[in-house]
Amino acid sequence: MPKKRFDPLEALATTPLAKAVASSSIGKSVATKLGVPPSVELRRGRNNPGGAISLAELNNSTLTRRTLQLLGLFTINPVIDTPDARTLGEAGRPVPPGYEGRLGALVLDLTELRAVTDLEYVRGVLRPAIRALERSGRIIFVARTPETFDELEPRVLAQGLDGLNRTVAKELRGGATSNLVWVDPETTPQALASTLRFLLEGRSAYVDGQSWRVGAAEVADDVATSVRPYAGTIVAVTGAARGIGAAIARTFARDGATVVGVDIPASGEALARVVNEIHGTALQLDITLPDAGERIAAHVAERYGEDARLYAIIHNAGITRDRMLANLDEKGWAAVLDVNLAAQLRMNASLLDGRAGGLADGGSIVGISSTSGIAGNKGQANYATSKAAIAGLVRAMAPRLADRRITINAVGPGFIETEMTAAIPYLQRQIFQRSNSLAQGGKPVDVAETIAYLADPASAAVTGQVVRVCGQALVGQ
Ligand SMILES: NC(=O)c1ccc[n+]([C@@H]2O[C@H](COP(=O)([O-])OP(=O)(O)OC[C@H]3O[C@@H](n4cnc5c(N)ncnc54)[C@H](O)[C@@H]3O)[C@@H](O)[C@H]2O)c1
């Protein structure tokens, strides 16, 4: 029999204390008395770190330097901690060198990592950088996708960086993050630019300890460097009336898109408020209707003309009907699978069939998975099935859509502060919020920014990926 995996969140949330004080007012005062420290305010938005960006290049790698140059970013050389570079401090102990000012980010180009002995260079540049990193600073590893190596040593070393990245992310403090980008030998600076920029900027605030792949695609210089990538495009967002969906709609509108907000008729008023604010249009629609995709396309064609096409569809609408499997009836099972999965499959099929108002070639699809889906979660058999399926869907569809240059990706949110999660009792919510490396819950905008990065025309080389927006949650790593 397989051993049951230890789930730290479950263990914490089910302690007698947590259960006893889970109801709100008592829980709140207990947390206050325990003196839970307030979490660090994360740097958010389209802005770079305040301090310097240091670039470490191993052997002959230049991809990252050329990418940062394309983005107009100035870099400094890293300080290297080697026995030779150490001076003796007052107590006669060696003192590693440090940066003079605050360090905003250290970007390590390790695409030419070849031998185990090269790893000493990696340690040597990381140590002083970690000490000097500012709040919400960044460590970014750029490495070759392990499967693209024939030789054994570079391949296993590239894989080893995954463990290093995850550990660095856990050790960093003050809202700083560490992430790893895998690149292919054919990846160009233009194809890598959107990812490096996203990781450096505050847009990636709640993405921590993650790794994903940037492949090859042709991206023009002006596309790679645009800060209003959605100008002139139409983007549909399901479940746009509130929560994460409303944040997605606002983020795409900020970046130039005309947004078609979709939500159930019962949320009509809230939906109207969101789309009016961003000059989009509303479509009251239950996405589980068999012809939901056709209706979205018809709305686009009617409102924006027969030649209009959707640039992107963001499948955000999702529901939970939590019950232990022993108590889960047919209705609770079917409702979740229909909204979270089957509706998406149907809508994709009709939006991709070339009809007026459907998805344009060169466009993008983004779905929402979940850490619960990836790790499994007690009481969420239906939800976890649907969300793991979304991760499978993007991996399966990416190669099929490559001919049409359509990308398909998903985000995997962890604990995000929305109405969905506000229903969780106070103390349990505190535990969930803090059980990640950033010791706080994410905001809807964190998920929205990651989706907007994935759907960006500049991210044409990013497809079939699931990027978690979870602050490196303890669950589902
Ligand atoms: N909040 C979190 O912590 C979290 C974590 C992981 C994943 N997610 C996922 O993110 C997405 C958004 O979550 P949220 O927290 O903003 O949820 P929410 O409940 O606040 O909002 C969901 C929206 O979807 C709409 N919707 C539901 N069923 C619909 C249908 N049949 N047709 C059209 N619209 C429908 C709702 O009316 C609502 O406006 C969901 O897919 C959810 O599973 C959320």
The enclosing domain of 384 has a CATH number of: 3.40.50.720
Of 214, 249, 271, the residue that ends a domain is 214
On whether both 182 and 260 belong to a single domain, the answer is: no
Q: Do the domain assignments include residue 26?
A: no
On whether both 358 and 404 belong to a single domain, the answer is: yes
Query: What pLDDT shows up at residue 91?
Result: 72
Query: What pLDDT shows up at residue 422?
Result: 86
The Å distance, Cα 423 to ligand 1 centre, comes to: 13
Query: What pLDDT shows up at residue 13?
Result: 44
Q: What share of the chain has pLDDT > 70, as a percent?
A: 91
Query: What pLDDT shows up at residue 476?
Result: 63
Q: Do the domain assignments include residue 362?
A: yes
Residue among 206, 251, 262, 263 to mutate when testing ligand 1 (max atoms within 8 A of CB): 263
**Dihedral angle of Cα 160, 166, 168, 171, to the nearest 10 degrees:** -140
On whether both 189 and 259 belong to a single domain, the answer is: no
- Ligand 1 in reach of 318 Cβ (< 6 A): yes
- With beta carbons less than 8 A apart as the criterion, state whether 341 and 319 touch: no
Query: What pLDDT shows up at residue 37?
Result: 61
Mean pLDDT is highest, among 6-20, 36-50, 150-164, for: 150-164
Whether pLDDT at 95 is above 80: no
Helix (H) or strand (E) holding 374: helix 371-375
- Ligand 1 in reach of 165 Cβ (< 6 A): no
- Distances from the Cα of 390 to the Cα of 194, 267, 314, 465, 474, angstroms: 24, 25, 12, 11, 21
Q: How far is Cα 191 from Cα 332, in angstroms, rounded to an integer?
A: 43
Of 196, 148, 65, 75, which Cα lies nearest the Cα of 458?
Answer: 196
Q: Quick one: average pLDDT of 87-108?
A: 82
Of 429, 469, 464, 428, which Cα lies nearest the Cα of 451?
Answer: 469
- With beta carbons less than 8 A apart as the criterion, state whether 79 and 98 touch: yes
The Å distance, Cα 337 to ligand 1 centre, comes to: 13
The Å distance, Cα 287 to ligand 1 centre, comes to: 12
- Of the pLDDT bands very low, low, confident and very high (cuts 50, 70, 90), residue 85 is confident
On whether both 407 and 280 belong to a single domain, the answer is: yes
- Distances from the Cα of 76 to the Cα of 43, 79, 122, 220, angstroms: 22, 9, 16, 27
Q: Do the domain assignments include residue 25?
A: no
Residue 225 DSSP SS3: coil
Structure tokens at 422: 């506000």
Q: Quick one: average pLDDT of 319-348?
A: 97
Query: What pLDDT shows up at residue 9?
Result: 44
Query: What pLDDT shows up at residue 425?
Result: 87
Q: Do the domain assignments include residue 375?
A: yes
Query: What pLDDT shows up at residue 36?
Result: 56
On whether both 195 and 312 belong to a single domain, the answer is: no
The Å distance, Cα 3 to ligand 1 centre, comes to: 33
**Mind telling me the catalytic residues?**
383
Whether pLDDT at 282 is above 80: yes
Q: Rg of the chain's alpha carbons, rounded to an integer?
A: 23
Structure tokens at 382: 């239906």
- With beta carbons less than 8 A apart as the criterion, state whether 183 and 143 touch: yes
Q: Quick one: average pLDDT of 454-458?
A: 98
Q: How far is Cα 276 from Cα 255, in angstroms, rounded to an integer?
A: 16
On whether both 303 and 258 belong to a single domain, the answer is: yes
For 29, list phi and psi in degrees, rounded to 5: -70, -35
Query: What pLDDT shows up at residue 12?
Result: 45
Angle between the N-to-C axes of helices 381-401 and 330-337, in degrees from 0 to 180, rounded to the nearest 10: 30
On whether both 66 and 122 belong to a single domain, the answer is: yes
On whether both 372 and 270 belong to a single domain, the answer is: yes
Query: What pLDDT shows up at residue 307?
Result: 97
Q: Quick one: average pLDDT of 461-475?
A: 95
Reported as a single tens digit per residue, the pLDDT across 354-394 is 999 999 999 999 999 999 888 898 999 999 999 999 999 99
Residue among 322, 339, 371, 418 to mutate when testing ligand 1 (max atoms within 8 A of CB): 418
Q: Do the domain assignments include residue 104?
A: yes
Query: What pLDDT shows up at residue 7?
Result: 38
Tell me how far apart the terminal alpha carbons of the chain are, to the nearest angstrom.
23
- With beta carbons less than 8 A apart as the criterion, state whether 187 and 63 touch: yes
- With beta carbons less than 8 A apart as the criterion, state whether 257 and 233 touch: yes
For the CA of 267, the closest atom of ligand 1 is: 37
- Residue-averaged pLDDT of the chain: 91
Structure tokens at 446: 């964190």
The H-assigned helical ranges of 138-202 are 152-171, 189-200
Q: How far is Cα 152 from Cα 191, in angstroms, rounded to an integer?
A: 27
- Ligand 1 in reach of 317 Cβ (< 6 A): yes
On whether both 170 and 65 belong to a single domain, the answer is: yes
Domain housing 128? 52-214
Reported as a single tens digit per residue, the pLDDT across 290-326 is 999 999 999 999 999 999 999 999 999 999 999 999 9
Question: In terms of pLDDT, which residue wins out, 123 or 97?
Answer: 123
Q: How far is Cα 437 from Cα 106, in angstroms, rounded to an integer?
A: 19
Q: How far is Cα 118 from Cα 241, in angstroms, rounded to an integer?
A: 51
Q: How far is Cα 109 from Cα 82, in angstroms, rounded to an integer?
A: 19
On whether both 251 and 398 belong to a single domain, the answer is: yes
Of 150, 184, 214, the residue that ends a domain is 214
* Count of structural domains, the chain: 2
- With beta carbons less than 8 A apart as the criterion, state whether 211 and 163 touch: no
CB-based contacts of 111, cutoff 8 Å, min separation 6: 58, 61, 63, 64, 142, 143, 144, 183
Q: What share of the chain has pLDDT > 90, as a percent?
A: 82
Of 180, 214, 248, the residue that ends a domain is 214
On whether both 461 and 417 belong to a single domain, the answer is: yes
Q: Quick one: average pLDDT of 227-249?
A: 98
- Of the pLDDT bands very low, low, confident and very high (cuts 50, 70, 90), residue 84 is confident
Q: Do the domain assignments include residue 439?
A: yes
Whether pLDDT at 143 is above 60: yes
On whether both 201 and 278 belong to a single domain, the answer is: no
Q: Do the domain assignments include residue 33?
A: no
